[in-house]
Chains A and B, each alone.
Chain A
Amino acid sequence: MSEVSPRSIEEAATWLAELGPDERVRIVGAGTNQRGCPPAARILSTRGFDWVDLRAGDLTVAVGAGVLLSELQSLLATAGLRLAIDPVADGTIGGVVATGSHGALVWRYGTIRDLVIGATLVLADGTVAHSGGHVIKNVAGYDLAKLVCGAYGRLALIAEVVLRVHALPACEGGVVAVVAPRELTGVLEHLRRARLEAVAMDWVSTSGELLVVFEGTSEGVASQARRLCELLASDGLHPRRVEAAALAQLRAERADVRAPATGVVLRVANRASRLLTWLTTIGRRDGVSVGVYPGAGLADLVAAGRDVETLLELGRSAQAAGGQCQLRLLRDEVTCELRELEQSPARWLLERVAAGLDPGGRFV
């Protein structure tokens, strides 16, 4: 299959404008979270969109869609800055936006949709559209940058995004404790009542450990971690403090759980209280690991092998409890039954919007 990799927005726009009416296009970045490609589609790689325009004083950065998140983070770090998301796998910035990526920092900073403040899009007919820009506050026009978050390239080509960046924290540290699913609600209550400002919470079924991360001054991090340890100990748990140096290892272990080399990840989203109640009902399942961002109401059900029957059953029970499901990190084509879990109540409206922006259904 022929692949094009335009070096500029204009080049991409011209290429799209000149395509025949029946030609289909699949947009690809680094292929991290890519769905199977329809056989007849042309491939448009974003890797030629490789520019970065950092405005450190404004805490904004304009990034070509083909830049890797890891490359961007390295560059930002030299200026004492970061993009405040920590997805479990690398990928292009365009891919991060198109798949709505995030990690445990979702609790404090939200997902990529909360950090995107501008976008340059190329529509299927080659029209170039901008929204937002290098200002963090802006309500002029429709927020097209949000529209393409999580759209998997269906609505438009993301050529460039402007992102809000944050200063790297002076210090970070955490608390780890083995916590049963039924005890997670109690931890959330402790954090709220003690008014502790955790930036990340992450529980994985493989170890049964909850990791809570704090950021700020060394005194502030230490006092919050100490207080949380006291509260968890009062519940009979056995928390331990984690210094900054040890956090990287913990995060890497958790990334391995959430993003296995093979298999399927089913994301479940539900109101936090309902998600945690549902979690207590599912028990341990062979071949399926679970990673939960408890306060955020998000769980990843990870089937490392090709047997997806259990995943299907869990997905259906999550839906029955009010949750929404989405397949992520697809390494292989999966069964139709699993795809049926991806029912969005807004699908009909999305189809209307897609028909407005891409009436010929070019982007697939």
Chain B
Amino acid sequence: MAEGYTGAVGGEQALRTFAAFARRACGPETVIDDLLERQAYSCDGLTAHRAVPGLVFVPRTSDELITGVRELIRLGVPFVARGAGTGLSGGALPETDGVVVVLARLTRILEVDPISQLAIVEPGVVNATLSAAVRDHGLYFVPDPSSQVACTIGGNVAENSGGAHCFKYGFTTNHILGVEVLTPTGDLVMLGGESMDVPGPDLRGVFIGSEGTLGIAVRIVCRLMTLPLAHRTMVAYFADVVAAGDAVTHLIRAGIVPAAIEMMDRGAMAACEAATGAGLSLAWEAALLVELDGTTEEVQAGLDQVRACVSAAGAGEVWVASTEAERDRMWRARKAAFAAAGRVAPAYIVQDGVIPRTALARVLESIRSIGREAGLTILNVFHAGDGNLHPLVTYDPNEPGAYERAERAASDIVRVCLSEGGSLTGEHGVGIDKVCMMPEQFTSDDLATFWRLRRAVDPAGLANPGKLLPTPRLCGERPGRYVTHPLESLGVASRW
């Protein structure tokens, strides 16, 4: 069954018409049509895929957003919503004949209701900004992706982002009560509401994580949680990655629910330590960062249980943070991992796969073999409690064939995840990056059902086309990886 869309799109003339409309209706500063400026939006955090958008639209208010996007729909112009551009799957990769709709100026926290433990925000509010804004009420927004100082809540909704502390409290989908959505047909609709449950099928749950393919979030109702009274954070070191994986399984089986269980192997620890000087011991092959939160009594009892568990699993050394500053150092090291990998190798691919937790030790062993066979160093740093792996496959781009080997190794890792009953992606999304791997996880009937849902909401195929679901055209004629030409690096020539 042929899938995808066949509808005509607007073309050059439609882009010019839109630019004139937006300048008139929303103001000249909402339109970016200069080539060099448009190039700044040619990729998100996945820099291997690039395309210069036909136009960039940067509304300053939700009214401007709605007005502009409705005109795009009327003209049949495809659009790609973009928050801070920190996504790692190319979900915000532009269409060359379409418009990037930048939500980064919609940064108002519209309302905080501490009694109801909710905040209503615009999509461009930065994740960490919301938690900071409600801290005085004793509240915070739980999802905490590593990019939380930059990523937006609209982006979190689009990707159903996770983060280190989602093991205990759930992911973005569990912390969004409602979303007002501008649909790809130009209608405004409230999905969910402002309570913990609303009547009817959970369209909010379908929208969250739909990667911009079912519309644009205009207003988001965030659930806020009470700040825990106490934290205890520790790092347990192991002589072997597999032993650390076993320790996670023991912890879970013992019924312990830490707020976070993060794992790093030796390579990742070395990189993080070099980047932050946090005080990680480099004498071991693997480390688990375990954080407990809750009341003082709960946390102390939990800490004792965790110590017993990791000792039984063979932990060689345990570092328990005794001050808030020590805890901060531990987290700084963990959250610096992706950036720190740049100290180990000039380039790397961040993979994102999920496995059932009980397969952790086995999968880590497979990843080690994949790295060995490819002749590449693979750093492992991930959310061990969720079974969400983030292997960093390092390579030297100057070495002929190295990128291709790294890409193959990264794909092989995901295939190992799938063979264990896992998933292509735990939090980075499918985007453009994994769209052609979707048939490896889903049957043709599954994909056909996804298409039926998508077409029901977006009959014209205007919202982030080419993402999330594969099409024969997309996966048969996929462009190669973007490689910078030396003249581009020198700034003397431009590709477009």
CB of B171 within 8 A of chain A?
yes
Least CB distance from A295 to B in Å reads 7
Q: Which residues of A contact B191 (CB under 8 A)?
A: 346, 349
Q: Is the CB of A272 within 8 A of B115?
A: yes
Q: Is the CB of B455 within 8 A of A141?
A: no
Q: Which residues of A contact B203 (CB under 8 A)?
A: 147, 346, 349-350, 353
In A123-169, which residues have CB < 8 Å from any B CB?
123, 127-131, 133-151, 154-155, 166-168
Q: A272's contact among B195, B205, B298, B426, by CB below 8 Å, is which?
A: B195
Q: Which residues of A contact B486 (CB under 8 A)?
A: none
Q: Is the CB of A223 within 8 A of B297?
A: yes
CB of A197 within 8 A of chain B?
yes
CB of B233 within 8 A of chain A?
no
Q: Given A57-B357, A110-B174, A138-B354 in contact, is the A131-B196 Cβ separation under 8 Å?
A: no
The CA of A191 and the CA of B197, in the complex, are separated in Å by: 21
CB of A50 within 8 A of chain B?
no
Q: Which residues of A contact B475 (CB under 8 A)?
A: none
Q: B173's contact among A106, A146, A295, by CB below 8 Å, is which?
A: A146
Residue of B nearest to A185 (CB): B115
CB of A237 within 8 A of chain B?
no
Q: A271's contact among B116, B210, B249, B354, by CB below 8 Å, is which?
A: B116
CB of A332 within 8 A of chain B?
no
The 12 sampled A-B contact pairs (Cβ below 8 Å) are: A106-B197, A107-B196, A133-B421, A137-B166, A137-B354, A137-B423, A142-B206, A192-B137, A219-B301, A295-B117, A348-B187, A353-B456
Q: Is the CB of A269 within 8 A of B198?
A: yes
CB of B193 within 8 A of chain A?
yes
Q: Which residues of B contact A34 (CB under 8 A)?
A: none
Residue of A nearest to B356 (CB): A58
Q: Is the CB of B421 within 8 A of A134?
A: yes
Q: Given A141-B438, A350-B201 in contact, is the A106-B196 Cβ separation under 8 Å?
A: yes
Q: Given A111-B196, A127-B448, A353-B456 in contact, is the A60-B227 Cβ separation under 8 Å?
A: no
The CA of A274 and the CA of B187, in the complex, are separated in Å by: 27
Q: A137's contact among B301, B387, B447, by CB below 8 Å, is which?
A: B387
Q: Given A189-B115, A192-B138, A350-B200 in contact, is the A139-B195 Cβ separation under 8 Å?
A: no
Residue of A nearest to B204 (CB): A146
Q: Is the CB of B228 within 8 A of A195?
A: yes
Q: Which residues of A contact B183 (CB under 8 A)?
A: 349
Q: Which residues of B contact A344 (CB under 8 A)?
A: 198-200
Provide the A7-37 mask, 1 if CB < 8 A to any CB of B, else 0: 0000000000000000000000000000000
Q: Is the CB of A195 within 8 A of B457?
A: no
Q: A139's contact among B249, B387, B421, B425, by CB below 8 Å, is which?
A: B425
Give residues in A with beta carbon < 8 Å to B.
55-60, 80, 100, 102, 106-107, 110-111, 113-114, 121, 123, 127-131, 133-151, 154-155, 166-168, 170, 185, 188-189, 191-193, 195-197, 216-217, 219-220, 223-224, 267, 269-276, 293, 295-298, 324-326, 342, 344-350, 352-353, 355-357
**Total number of A-B contacts with CB less than 8 angstroms?**
283
In B156-208, which residues have CB < 8 Å from any A CB?
159-160, 162, 166, 170-171, 173-174, 183, 187, 189-191, 193-206, 208
| Stretch from B28-36, B95-103, B252-260, B398-406 contacting the other chain | B252-260
Q: Given A55-B356, A273-B116, A326-B199 in contact, is the A140-B227 Cβ separation under 8 Å?
A: no
Q: Given A57-B253, A140-B424 in contact, is the A113-B430 Cβ separation under 8 Å?
A: no
Q: Given A80-B255, A100-B202 in contact, is the A272-B421 Cβ separation under 8 Å?
A: no
In B83-130, which residues have CB < 8 Å from any A CB?
113-118
Residue of A nearest to B197 (CB): A111
Residue of B nearest to A134 (CB): B356
Least CB distance from B392 to A in Å reads 19
Residue of B nearest to A322 (CB): B194
Q: Which residues of A contact B468 (CB under 8 A)?
A: 141
Q: Is the CB of B294 within 8 A of A140?
A: no
Q: Chain A interface mostly helix, strand, loop or mixed?
A: mixed
CB of B6 within 8 A of chain A?
no
Q: Is the CB of A271 within 8 A of B356?
A: no
Q: Is the CB of B116 within 8 A of A131?
A: no
Q: Is the CB of B199 within 8 A of A141?
A: no
Q: Is the CB of B452 within 8 A of A357?
A: yes
The list of the 9 closest CB pairs from A to B, nearest first, reads A146-B205, A356-B456, A297-B195, A167-B255, A326-B199, A296-B196, A129-B449, A271-B194, A151-B201
Q: Which residues of B contact A347 (CB under 8 A)?
A: 200
Q: Is the CB of A197 within 8 A of B226?
A: yes
Q: Which residues of A contact B422 (CB under 8 A)?
A: 133, 135
Least CB distance from A77 to B in Å reads 13
Q: Is the CB of A127 within 8 A of B249?
A: no
The CA of A219 and the CA of B300, in the complex, are separated in Å by: 10
CB of B377 within 8 A of chain A?
no
Residue of A nearest to B196 (CB): A296
Q: Is the CB of B201 within 8 A of A129?
A: no
Q: Which residues of B contact A223 (CB under 8 A)?
A: 295-297
Least CB distance from B27 to A in Å reads 31
Least CB distance from B450 to A in Å reads 5
Q: Which residues of A contact B113 (CB under 8 A)?
A: 271-273
The CA of A293 and the CA of B252, in the complex, are separated in Å by: 30
CB of B44 within 8 A of chain A?
no
Q: Which residues of B contact A80 (CB under 8 A)?
A: 255
Q: Which residues of B contact A154 (CB under 8 A)?
A: 201
Least CB distance from A250 to B in Å reads 21
Q: Is the CB of B201 within 8 A of A155?
A: yes
The CA of A362 and the CA of B83, in the complex, are separated in Å by: 40
CB of B383 within 8 A of chain A?
yes
Q: Which of B249, B445, B448 has the most CB of A within 10 A?
A: B445
